[in-house]
Structure 1
Amino acid sequence: MAIDLSSIVKAYDVRGVVPDQFSPQVAEALGVAFARVVVIPDATGSARPGVVIGRDMRDSGPELVDAFARGLTSEGVDVTLIGLCSTDGLYYASGQLSLPGAMFTASHNPARYNGIKLCRSGARPVGQETGLAEIRELAQGILDGVTTGSTSAGSTSGAGSVTQRDLLADYAGFLRSLVDLADARPLKVVVDAGNGMAGLTVPAVLGDAAGLAGLPLDLVPLYFELDGSFPNHEANPLDPANLIDLQAAVVANEADLGLAFDGDADRCFVVDERGGAVSPSAITALVGLAEVTKELAEGRTPTVIHNLITSRAVPDLLSAAGATTVRTRVGHSFIKAQMAEHGAVFGGEHSAHYYFRDFWFADTGMLAALHVLAALSTQDHTMSELAEMFEPYYGSGEINSTVSDAAAATDRVLDAYRAAYPGVVVDTLDGVTVSHWEAHPQWWFNLRASNTEPLLRLNVEAADEDIMEKVRDDVLSLVRETAGSAEGEEAL
């Protein structure tokens, strides 16, 4: 059966069903292509080219990693295997070892999926515009028999080597060095690992499993057993259904807050002491304020990156605090590129990805969690009171609509709103954003088409809840005028 890599090589990662779409054969071809397109050309000096590889807890991981490594070593590339890790653990390894990296994970997707997140040395992203398209084309040629799959084309003769290395303790120590919890008051924290990689990283970073001094935290674990079949709930905290157990446990244990991580533990979600979900935009503003304050104290002018569906509260609050804010497209490869271009101290997405200059401009949910714990533990407010300070507006969340013609549905919405609001501002940075924020009533919405599915994704925000609901309902009515629909929340 012919293998079409265009179905699994996405805008900024590889993701597909194992083995129908993503097999060891595909992984090996991608390993060869990664070596030729990124690893060998980026190698400097006389050192042999190398790659660091990590994986999550999915059963298909070991076989796929072995095949990918085989492709790399056939090209003369040395491979360092760090075994089970979170995605930000792989980024740490790439940054600390100055090596390109490959993380085998399908994040929140069901057990039958797996994938790869690729980066250059220093955790720099590899997306469609920075090498992934070329990797796909070359790997497709290998699978189709047009291109040979093994040439020993490395910078030195012979096959590459494979070594193993454990970096969990180093990763934990590095993160702890970035946030000062010396004056923290004791907190009770419920953590839902969702049977994902947070079951490994939370005890190391927030506990003493990595040999670090204990923190003033009473940790209540939920689903810490690593299990890629996700027996308790999907490892996708952006779906409210997957927060129910955490919310109940926070209330039952009279905890100060709850933390939830996705399957590869690169995203962190927060639940307050009442069991209420805290908006990732509020966390972006809260963590951003901590980083901005630190930058200003050190005499630097801070820049913060945020994607275009985060709350307007993010640029409002951080600009008022003295930061320059930069708005960017949705997606980690885009925001990482903007982080590096602007030397930004921090970046946040409404999908709960948080990026730090001090972490090679990469995203780490665990470092964001440390900042939240520090913010809560050094003052007397509850988590709900603290979050309320950073959530002045009302948002719809991301709502997906199944449409047969996304362009026609978008045009229908634009025509209606331009007619009703002649002064409305429209931009096309990512999909279309229609803004009435500089007039009253204040509202904006964004419509973005999915790259892989017949979906339009809607986000609405307003200064008044009734206005938000009206805009949301009006736009959805226009979008779904001639189409069936399905509602849900996106998880990246």
Structure 2
Amino acid sequence: MKVFGSSGTRGVVGEEFTPEFVSRVAAAAAATWDAERVALGRDTRTSGRTFADAAAAGITAAGVDVERLGVVPTPSLVRYCEVEAVPGVMITASHNPPEFNGVKLVGDDGIELPVGRLEAVEERLLSEGTTTVAWDRIGASRRIADANDDYVREMLDTVDRDAVADAGLTVALDPGHGAGALTSPEFFRELGCDVVTVNAQPDGHFPGRDPEPVEKNLADLKRLVAAADADVGIAHDGDADRAVFVDETGDYVEGDASLAALSAHHLGEGDTTVAAVNVSQRLVDVCEAAGANLELTPIGSTNIITRIKELWREGESVPVAGEGNGGVFFPDYRLVRDGAFIAAKFLELLAERDASVSEVVAPYEDYTNVRENLAYETDAQLNAMLEAAAAYAEAADAEPDTKDGYRLDYGDAWVLVRPSGTEPKVRVYAESADPERAATLAREAREALAAAKSGVEA
């Protein structure tokens, strides 16, 4: 049994994801850390309080005190863990639909646990040993009221407030009813922006849109940009560790394009950046132009974090890293994906260039991305699709990269097939400068997988 995927552990509430499971995960983490106290936060999901209570029960039953931060963005919890030198548990399913919830684990260095430490927690969780202490050693619980205030204040001290304020930007903000609704509106106003909002009421039912900030979910934000004549639209996911953008015309900006623009601004000769195996050609081109190195990992923030820490130990400079889903790291600030900080760095770029969003991302819009998902209900369906992916890759006129799934590079285009680390889906990615080429590669891979799945009963 594998508990932790590419970004913590997640599941459908009431099915595989239960209070008992969360309590056990939290207790195993607390016992593995050998900590005296643990910070605990959650996003806005309707199940969040229940699972935070379960996590608190597991932590205190393991003899560890718990400090309850309430509803916070993941980067707010991460900041608290670093400053207070305590590990943390975040109850969130990030971008997943409302029926999901999950757990992310953060070390006392303020960094989500790397692969090796997650494996230690998983081993403890799956062992027969107990993590419960005697009645007179049960941990205490207390509430922390100002974590979000401190998080916003620190970001304001880190960003070039004068440059952003002088640019006179109007920001249309869509926190998607998630935890960022409690912090991002204030943050951008304090930066000197005029801020208009949509879906900015914390609500775990997510009535305005699903938590994932993909184009199909951002119609309200696009309309708001147009209605307010905003300079930029910014959207977060459920725990506000991602930021995606809409330009001044109301057009969606591909996450790969914004990642490339930010990377081009921050990478220099000899620097290294880290991305996942679904990396866009845009970032490859940026690295070549800058004389920077590109390191690839399996998909997921955990894997990127692990590789960045390895590169640090080797003395490498990693000023920026991330994936094309809006999850960008600025490791010199903090090794966390932080939606508000990502957006602030993008605003700095607009201010420094004295340019519009469309002008800033224009050099990185030459390639077309296609992403498709195939859901499965049983392990048999998953195995059939993965066997089909292996056969498809073996027959292709390209050498497969099997670091995470099967990536086929054709020079002018690439396609990647891999199982999701957070949902019961197999994902197909394709990219090319020719839209038809990208669509064809994605369709051919998808058809091979769909045919295999159709031969297996649910």
Aligned residue number for residue 254 of structure 1: 229
Q: What is the number of equivalent residue pairs in this alignment?
A: 441
Aligned residue number for residue 203 of structure 1: 185
Aligned residue number for residue 3 of structure 1: none
**1:162 matched to 2:144:** no
TM superposition shift of 1:285: 1.5
Aligned residue number for residue 25 of structure 1: 20
Give the percent of matched residue pairs that are identical in Structure 1 and Structure 2: 29
Say whether the 8 Å CA contact 2:156–2:187 is kept in structure 1. yes
After TM superposition, the structure 1 = structure 2 runs for residues 48-447 of structure 1, keeping only pairs within 5 Å, are 49-126=36-113, 129-136=115-122, 138-139=124-125, 147-151=129-133, 158-165=137-144, 166-184=146-164, 185-207=167-189, 214-238=190-214, 240-292=215-267, 301-343=270-312, 344-396=318-370, 398-402=371-375, 404=381, 405-418=384-397, 424-437=398-411, 442-447=412-417
Structure 2 distance, partners of 1:110, 1:361, is 26
Amino acid at match of 2:54: A
Render the CA deviation track for 1:37-75: whole Å, top value 9, x for unaligned. Answer: 2x20xx5xxxxx221111112233233223322322233
Render the CA deviation track for 1:149-171: whole Å, top value 9, x for unaligned. Answer: 51259xxx833332332122221
TM superposition shift of 1:228: 0.5
- SS of corresponding position for 2:440: helix
Structure 1 portions without partners, runs of 5+: 1-5, 44-48, 208-213, 419-423, 486-492
Structure 2 distance, partners of 1:221, 1:74, is 42
- SS of corresponding position for 2:267: helix
Comparing both structures, which one devotes a greater share of its residues to helix? Answer: 2
Structure 2 distance, partners of 1:106, 1:135, is 19
Q: TM-score, normalised by structure 1?
A: 0.83
Structure 2 distance, partners of 1:63, 1:187, is 40
CA change 1:7–1:338 in 2 (3 A) is closer
Structure 2 distance, partners of 1:465, 1:28, is 47
Say whether the 8 Å CA contact 2:366–2:433 is kept in structure 1. yes
CA change 1:484–1:175 in 2 (3 A) is farther
Amino acid at match of 1:468: A
Structure 1 distance, partners of 2:54, 2:359, is 50
Structure 1 distance, partners of 2:134, 2:305, is 32
Structure 2 distance, partners of 1:50, 1:453, is 31
Say whether the 8 Å CA contact 2:236–2:244 is kept in structure 1. yes
TM superposition shift of 1:402: 4.5
CA change 1:484–1:255 in 2 (3 A) is farther
Say whether the 8 Å CA contact 1:406–1:449 is kept in structure 2. no
- SS of corresponding position for 2:160: coil
Q: TM-score, normalised by structure 2?
A: 0.88
CA change 1:317–1:7 in 2 (3 A) is closer
Structure 2 distance, partners of 1:402, 1:80, is 38
- SS of corresponding position for 1:183: helix
Runs of 4+ in 1 over 6 A off after TM superposition: none
Say whether the 8 Å CA contact 2:96–2:211 is kept in structure 1. yes
Structure 2 distance, partners of 1:108, 1:452, is 10
- SS of corresponding position for 1:182: helix
TM superposition shift of 1:215: 2.7
Render the CA deviation track for 1:247-266: whole Å, top value 9, x for unaligned. Answer: 11111222111111111111
CA change 1:32–1:7 in 2 (3 A) is same
Say whether the 8 Å CA contact 1:402–1:483 is kept in structure 2. no
Say whether the 8 Å CA contact 1:35–1:72 is kept in structure 2. yes
Structure 1 distance, partners of 2:16, 2:258, is 36
TM superposition shift of 1:289: 2.6
Structure 2 distance, partners of 1:9, 1:385, is 40
Structure 2 portions without partners, runs of 5+: 313-317
CA change 1:482–1:69 in 2 (3 A) is closer
